[in-house]
Chain A
Amino acid sequence: MNFLNQNWWKWLSIGVLFYVLIAGLIGPVPRLAILNETIRVLYFHVPMWFGMIIILTASMVYAIKFLSADDPKLDHLSVELANVGVLFGVLGILTGMLWANYTWGAPWSNDPQQNAAAIGLLIYFAYFILRGSLQDEQQRARISAIYNIFAYAALIPLLFILPRLTDSLHPGSGGNPGFNAYDLDSNLRFVFYPAVVGWTLLGCWITSIRYRMRRIKETLEE
């Protein structure tokens, strides 16, 4: 019973994701040319990016917290959040390429949003390389926390501003990428918002496991 009380959000994640899977596959969606049934990818591909942004925001917040409080626990939480955020980003790119192959005709069409997302991920890859290259624990934690803040500051314009300056191939874009194409249909929202919550909670779950493992590792090495 204690497990259920403390970990209600894990159960919520499971429940919501099952709802998303079922309602996402059989629920009503608008009939749009070219998109066809792939509009349902909205519930699986797009939440990867929303989840990534939420998780990387948390990572940045913990990096700032670490810099002010100097508690290694905060640094560990920040790293693991970044780890899972990048996982979401990689899965977002992979699923996006798969989808683009059947809608845009090629996995990679140098779409501004696609390129920007790839650059954003590369910036975060550099974060892990930076961490790996520093030996001193204190130094590693501090420098990588500062880099984390800068990486986040670079990611936001890459994802939200630059693609809006040109026309993206993404559905709903041209002017303001987002929900223009879906605004017509509120059916999508009933599944999309839960999908974002469900996938993000799954990411938090994986993060918590990685964080606890890191704590064990640290106590073992002491």
Chain B
Amino acid sequence: MRIILGIVFALLSNFAIAQSVEMADQFRSEGKIYVVIAVIGTLLVGFFIYLIVIDKKLSKLEKKLKEREH
């Protein structure tokens, strides 16, 4: 029983330390370079979504054009 409790407490305290130290530091580490990467990623996602929407519109137009030709 003691051993189990000991293990649980050890795990909990480990977890607590890990929690207090590892504060979502990923993006703040290495001079916040990940923020720059996320910004570039956001731009790419934004432009790609926009292009996909345009592409879909164009497909509709092409469909209409085909219907007209028949």
A residues neighboring B (CB under 8 Å): 21, 25, 36-38, 40-41, 44-45, 48, 87, 90-91, 94-95, 98-99, 102-103, 202, 206, 209-210, 213, 216-217, 220
Q: Which residue of A lies closest to B51 (CB)?
A: A206
The reply on B10 being an interface residue by CB < 8 A is no
Name the contact of B35 in the complex, choosing from A94, A98, A216 (C-beta under 8 A). A98
When the two chains form their complex, are residues A91 and B54 in contact, meaning their CB atoms are under 8 A apart? Answer: no
Closest to B40 in A: A44
Q: B18 — which chain A residues lie within 8 A by C-beta?
A: none
- Distance in Å from the Cβ of A20 to the closest Cβ of chain B? 10
B42 surroundings in chain A (CB, below 8 A): 91, 94-95, 98
The CA of A40 and the CA of B40, in the complex, are separated in Å by 10
Beta-carbon contact of B36 and A37 below 8 Å: yes
A102 touches B28 (CB 8 A): yes
Alpha-carbon distance A37/B42, docked complex (angstroms): 17
Partner of B58, one of A91, A98, A99, A213: A213
Per DSSP, chain A at the interface is: helix
Contact of B54 (CB < 8 Å), options: A37, A213, A217: A213
A-B complex: 7 closest residue pairs judged by Cβ atoms = A37-B31, A36-B31, A37-B33, A91-B46, A36-B32, A95-B39, A40-B36
Q: Could you tell me if B36 and A94 are in contact, using CB atoms closer than 8 angstroms? A: no
Chain B residues within 8 Å of A87, by CB: 46, 50
Q: Which residues of A contact B43 (CB under 8 A)?
A: 44, 48, 91, 95
The majority secondary structure among interface residues of chain B is helix
Question: Does B9 reach chain A (CB closer than 8 Å)?
Answer: no
Give me the interface of B with A, judged by CB distance under 8 Å. 27-28, 30-33, 35-36, 38-40, 42-43, 46-47, 50-51, 54, 57-58, 61, 64-65, 68
Interface pair B61/A217, CB less than 8 Å apart: yes
Tell me the complex Cα distance, A21–B36, Å. Answer: 11
Given contacts A209-B54, A213-B54, contact A38 B61 (CB under 8 A): no
Q: How far is the CA of A122 from the CA of B65 in the complex (A)?
A: 35
- CA distance in complex: A210, B57 (Å): 10
Nearest-CB residue, chain B, relative to A42: B36
- In the assembly, what is the distance between CA of A37 and CA of B51, in Å? 30
Structural contact, A213 and B31, CB atoms closer than 8 A: no
Q: Are B36 and A38 in contact (CB under 8 A)?
A: yes
Closest A residue by C-beta to B65 = A220
> Closest CB of chain A to B23's CB: distance in Å?
13
A200 to B7, CA, bound (A): 60
A206 interface neighbour in B28, B40, B50, Cβ under 8 Å = B50
Given contacts A37-B33, A38-B35, 13 further A-B contacts (CB under 8 A): A38-B32, A40-B33, A40-B36, A90-B46, A91-B42, A94-B42, A94-B46, A98-B39, A206-B50, A206-B51, A206-B54, A210-B54, A220-B64
